[in-house]
Protein backbone atom coordinates (compact mmCIF):
# COMPACT_ATOMS: atom_id res chain seq x y z
CA UNK A 1 0.00 0.00 0.00
CA UNK A 2 1.36 3.44 -0.90
CA UNK A 3 1.67 6.28 1.61
CA UNK A 4 -1.12 8.16 -0.12
CA UNK A 5 -3.49 5.21 -0.02
CA UNK A 6 -2.68 4.57 3.64
CA UNK A 7 -3.40 8.20 4.52
CA UNK A 8 -6.64 8.15 2.53
CA UNK A 9 -7.76 4.94 4.23
CA UNK A 10 -6.92 6.24 7.70
CA UNK A 11 -8.64 9.59 7.13
CA UNK A 12 -11.78 7.98 5.71
CA UNK A 13 -12.00 5.63 8.69
CA UNK A 14 -11.46 8.52 11.11
CA UNK A 15 -14.06 10.62 9.28
CA UNK A 16 -16.74 7.95 9.38
CA UNK A 17 -16.33 7.15 5.67
CA UNK A 18 -17.61 10.64 4.79
CA UNK A 19 -15.50 12.49 2.24
CA UNK A 20 -16.71 15.86 3.54
CA UNK A 21 -15.34 15.01 6.96
CA UNK A 22 -11.93 14.33 5.45
CA UNK A 23 -11.93 17.44 3.26
CA UNK A 24 -12.92 19.72 6.13
CA UNK A 25 -11.28 17.81 8.94
CA UNK A 26 -11.15 19.99 12.04
CA UNK A 27 -8.44 17.98 13.80
CA UNK A 28 -5.71 20.44 12.85
CA UNK A 29 -3.14 18.91 15.20
CA UNK A 30 -3.34 15.49 13.50
CA UNK A 31 0.05 14.67 11.92
CA UNK A 32 -1.73 13.53 8.74
CA UNK A 33 -3.88 16.68 8.40
CA UNK A 34 -1.57 18.41 5.90
CA UNK A 35 -1.52 15.35 3.62
CA UNK A 36 -5.21 14.49 3.36
CA UNK A 37 -5.71 16.15 -0.05
CA UNK A 38 -2.94 14.20 -1.76
CA UNK A 39 -1.06 17.32 -2.85
CA UNK A 40 1.79 19.31 -1.39
CA UNK A 41 0.83 21.31 1.68
CA UNK A 42 0.74 25.01 0.86
CA UNK A 43 0.62 24.50 -2.91
CA UNK A 44 -1.87 26.35 -5.08
CA UNK A 45 -3.67 23.05 -5.74
CA UNK A 46 -3.93 22.40 -2.01
CA UNK A 47 -5.35 25.89 -1.31
CA UNK A 48 -7.81 25.54 -4.19
CA UNK A 49 -9.03 22.16 -2.93
CA UNK A 50 -9.46 23.60 0.56
CA UNK A 51 -11.49 26.53 -0.79
CA UNK A 52 -13.68 24.31 -2.97
CA UNK A 53 -14.31 21.93 -0.06
CA UNK A 54 -15.24 24.88 2.16
CA UNK A 55 -17.77 26.08 -0.41
CA UNK A 56 -19.11 22.64 -1.35
CA UNK A 57 -19.63 20.90 1.99
CA UNK A 58 -22.16 23.22 3.63
CA UNK A 59 -23.07 21.04 6.60
CA UNK A 60 -19.45 20.37 7.54
CA UNK A 61 -18.62 24.06 7.07
CA UNK A 62 -21.50 25.14 9.29
CA UNK A 63 -20.33 22.75 12.01
CA UNK A 64 -16.83 24.21 11.85
CA UNK A 65 -18.21 27.73 11.95
CA UNK A 66 -20.25 26.86 15.05
CA UNK A 67 -16.97 25.76 16.63
CA UNK A 68 -15.41 29.09 15.65
CA UNK A 69 -13.21 27.72 12.85
CA UNK A 70 -13.09 29.73 9.61
CA UNK A 71 -11.63 29.04 6.18
CA UNK A 72 -8.87 31.52 7.05
CA UNK A 73 -8.04 29.40 10.11
CA UNK A 74 -7.84 26.30 7.93
CA UNK A 75 -5.64 27.98 5.31
CA UNK A 76 -3.46 29.61 7.99
CA UNK A 77 -2.66 26.08 9.21
CA UNK A 78 -1.00 25.53 5.83
CA UNK A 79 1.76 28.00 6.50
CA UNK A 80 2.31 27.33 10.19
What pLDDT sits at residue 9?
92
Give the model's confidence band at 49: pLDDT under 50 very low, under 70 low, under 90 confident, else very high: confident
Q: At what angle do helices 44-56 and 58-66 cross, to 10 degrees?
A: 90
In this structure, are residues 36 and 22 in contact, taking their beta carbons and an 8 Å threshold? yes
User: Model pTM?
Assistant: 0.64
Q: Please, what is the Cα angle at 46 between 7 and 53, to 5 degrees? A: 85
- Average pLDDT value over all residues in the chain: 81
Whether the pLDDT of residue 77 is over 70: the answer is no
Q: How far apart are the first and last CA of the chain?
A: 29
What pLDDT sits at residue 63?
84
Q: Average of pLDDT values for 42-69? A: 82
Amino acid sequence: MTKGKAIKKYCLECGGSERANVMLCHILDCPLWPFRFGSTQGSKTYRNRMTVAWEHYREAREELERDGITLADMIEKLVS
